[in-house]
Chains A and B, each alone.
Chain A
């Protein structure tokens, strides 16, 4: 996966034996963040023209990163059955969107709107300078839900 390779290179995590825990004075990534690199979940895309798919596309103005998060919704129950993401950005951004796709699966749309960036940041132990990455993920979830709802309105109204 190109994104992963680029992410690993950017982080300098080229060996499989990277330290998972913060050690003493060394500032390393939290094991959860590293986990999302070594085992990326839900990377990919859905067909955005599919009526059961909501696409959230967001960008970070400070660093120029882009994040796409897609949800697949069960029309009958309104539950999110699957999710995919594609993020071009730093390790924290990729991990945040990966976590977001995991957390939205199996939940109702109204429920995922309550997912807060602080929860994502806490789960990944993001440093203050990377908090905006978790914010981006929260915004991506909201954008995906909004897109799905707007599509429904269009198809119902037509």
Chain B
């Protein structure tokens, strides 16, 4: 229920928001350009529509197998890995916890990612799932919309930022990062201490911007290191990279607060 309480921006805000990717700038009212997608599926609506199935995946094996999900409303069976919305009857499906963020955006479980493509797909999803579009539907479906929309928003946020994506991809691969253990590496901490001191002592925005670009440079460097370490399954190394990135991100936050 916590997820439904998250405030999701209204659909018009979401779709008119400018993205960093230059090719996707939607300016029109989404509701006016809403068009019905043509039926491309060969499967007809099954007579099982009378039986209300939940949208749960029926596979008993690992999540790598393509599972078959069934629409709770019309019984349409989909083999999509992320069955959030039934194109057949246009109903929103309940959240399936086994669907991970990469599956929602149709991406491979890799660290390297094109943020622009995620933003585009995010908007496409919100055009179907957003709670503002389901006022005429049942309470049950409105609840599904709130949960699915929140999950998709969270997925977008997690995947578009390097640090959160790194942590998520580790988690999805079963590698939990211990966040309890205090960091004692003197070289790392000395560097961070000096960085934070520099930020605190910086007087003008020119100086802060200079520090910020240095930190961004470091973040890119460690992000690349993480990618290499992760690909080669050197998970301890990967965790070290994440640690560094956490500290640099915190420094960035401080700079932004000051600017």
Q: Tell me the A residues contacting B by CB distance below 8 Å.
A: 2-3, 6, 9-10, 57-66, 68, 86, 88, 132, 135-136, 139, 143
Contacts and interface: CB of A to CB of B under 8 A. Distances in A.
Chain B interface mostly: helix
A62 B254 CA distance: 16
Contacts, number: 70
Nearest to A1: B200
Contact of B192 (A3, A6, A66, A139): A66
A59 B257 contact: no
Chain A interface mostly: mixed
A44 to B, nearest CB: 12
Interface size class of B (residues with CB under 8 A): 20 to 34
A7 B122 CA distance: 36
A60 B188 CA distance: 12
A145 to B, nearest CB: 13
A92 to B, nearest CB: 15
A59 B186 contact: no
Contacts of A2: 200-201
Contact of A88 (B179, B180, B188, B200): B200
Contacts of B257: 6, 9-10
B240 to A, nearest CB: 11
B218 interface: no
A3 B250 CA distance: 14
A24 to B, nearest CB: 21
A135 B181 CA distance: 10
Given A3-B200, A64-B246, A64-B249, A86 B182 contact: no
B183 interface: yes
B235 interface: no
B200 A132 contact: no
B135 to A, nearest CB: 32
B182 A58 contact: yes
A60 B183 contact: yes
B184 interface: yes
